[in-house]
A and B are shown apart, each in its own frame.
Chain A
Amino acid sequence: MEFLGKIIISGLMNGSVYGLVAIGFVLIYKSSLLLSFCQGNMLVFGAYSFWAFMIITGKNIFLSFMLAMVAGYMIGSLIERITLRPLIGQPMLAMVTITIFLAQVIDGIIVLIWGSYPLQQIEIFPRASLAIGKMVVTTEVLYAFGLAIIAMVALMLFFRYTKIGLAMRGVAEGHQTMQAMGYSVKKILNICWGVAGIVATLGGILLGATLGFQLTLSSIGILAIPAAFIGGLESPGGAILGGLLIGIVESIVSGYVGQAAGPPASFVILIMVMFFKPEGFFGLKEIERV
């Protein structure tokens, strides 16, 4: 029982980060109907720049955090401006291919700047443990979980109540219609990528704090795809729930079956969900009037 509790808590922790990364997919998919495969590498870039800011500012967490968010926004909007804007109106496949290989390019840039070895571990969240009944939980897990939930709620409010969030949802419905109404679709797509960069950076910081700052963190860019699809590619809330589900399943399977079986298990779930609910649990259904 204690073992199960521990597994579930570590699943929730992983899951909330999956959820955050999945929100990045949702942001980009919602506005441009594009699945971005460089999300994981944006995440590593964000995490590494946070680490660098920590060193530069002498471990001023708040300042480094803010600077890293700015860096995340910049990398996201730069990617859109340089590589994807010329392709507006071109077939989706061209854009997807670009993001796949862009992932490698970002990887290369990171190695050029920071080298390929894991960075020195730095303490970010105060290390302490909390006893809940018989179980012991590290505070890191709680921080990660709390931040993920805050990010989710903030994004949902953002989409619902801000002008720019509403405009993003409008752009997702039809580019030409929005242009006729006076919105610059290019500008809005650019902001979307910027926000996706921020979300990736946030996920990267959480992961780096718990797993260490290393290049392999980028694999979460693929691992989080099931979370986005299960929740529904249009719903930030669905992405978080999908992430938590995937996180728990993965850690239960790796706990009871074996470490290596975890990630494939989440892909099996993805395939099963796709069979029965191709738009995910909270995705938008194609509207058909009867």
Chain B
Amino acid sequence: MLKVNNVEVKYAGVILVLRGVSIEVNDGTIVALLGSNGAGKTTTLKAISGLLHTELGEVTAGSIEYDNYRIDKLDPDQIAQKGIIQVMEGRRVLRHLTVEENLRLGGNILKESNIEKDMDMVYDYFPKLKTLHNSVSGYLSGGEQQMLVLGRAMMAHPKIMLLDEPSMGLAPMIVQEIYAMIKRFNTDEKNSILLVEQNARAALSISEFCYVMENGRIVLDGPSSKLAGNEDIKEFYLGLSKVGEKKSYRDIKHYKRRKRWL
């Protein structure tokens, strides 16, 4: 189980990005982390994966525990070795390497692994990658690159996958396909996934639990099915309002409408 306890993160020693964030990811569950731009979602993931150390950020208070072992002082490669793999946003393929070489690199960090078998597993999730296995990954389309970075992370059989906006900039059809595979991987491997998203609909549809962040704080949490019915979530993240009702000018002036949790 992954536990983030009241974590505070400062960048460059002065900019307070996270102001006491607490998150729990139980074994085998998919947990979504929603929020608008700049809310601190990516920073939360980087704090967990240790990538914060490679930037100017620092965990200044609180603790991060994985199976009752503190990991917030470890280097990112040590954390990844423990089975917590982050898939960064922006489809970071190793551009000049082929699809197959990317996948191999993902699996090579395991001490004992069967690369060929794992590669077949990834090709089973994403059949498109199989036909492209010798192509230089930098030339793949956006959706294919997203499949590749997900597949590369799957090669390491992570205990916890941290996914940062896997739907960014992709066509709805591709998003559906990718989300279906994320769900399937979670069921097959019985691992946990912490999912950061702007696409609230997709995230709520596959997750069991959900946190909402704003300004470096968790402002709302609960089971995803319950949150999907929450008025505020509907209005601000799903873009739904009451259908069929007569709207007054006051409703349209949405700046008048305050989020209730603030």
Contacts and interface: CB of A to CB of B under 8 A. Distances in A.
Interface string A48-73: 00000000000000000000000000
B166 to A, nearest CB: 14
Interface residues of B, number: 30
A134 interface: no
Interface in A172-209: 172-185
Interface string B89-131: 0001011110001001110110000000000000000000000
B105 A176 contact: no
A261 B94 CA distance: 43
B94 A174 contact: yes
B81 interface: yes
A176 B51 contact: yes
B11 to A, nearest CB: 15
Contacts of B156: 181-182
A133 to B, nearest CB: 44
Contacts, number: 80
Contacts of A172: 96
Contacts of B233: none
A166 B76 contact: no
Contacts of B105: 166-167, 170, 178, 181, 183
B94 A177 contact: yes
Interface residues on A, range: 20 to 34
Given A177-B94, A180-B76, A184-B75, A89 B54 contact: yes
Counting chain B CB atoms within 10 Å of each CB, which of A163, A173, A185 scores highest? A173
A163 B108 contact: yes
A135 interface: no
Interface string B197-212: 0000000000000000
Contact of A179 (B54, B94, B106): B54
Counting chain B CB atoms within 10 Å of each CB, which of A169, A175, A181, A185 scores highest? A181
A60 to B, nearest CB: 38
A15 B153 CA distance: 43
Contact of A166 (B75, B104, B139, B141): B104
A249 to B, nearest CB: 29
A16 B86 CA distance: 44
A174 B88 CA distance: 12
B147 to A, nearest CB: 16
A163 B104 CA distance: 9
Contact of B108 (A167, A173, A176, A234): A167
B77 A183 contact: yes
Contacts of A185: 77
Given A173-B94, A182-B81, 13 more contacts: A89-B54, A166-B101, A167-B108, A169-B96, A169-B101, A179-B75, A179-B76, A181-B106, A181-B156, A182-B80, A182-B85, A185-B77, A287-B95
19 contacts: A89-B54, A163-B108, A169-B94, A170-B97, A177-B94, A178-B105, A180-B51, A180-B76, A180-B80, A180-B86, A181-B80, A181-B105, A181-B152, A181-B153, A184-B77, A284-B96, A287-B136, A287-B139, A289-B139
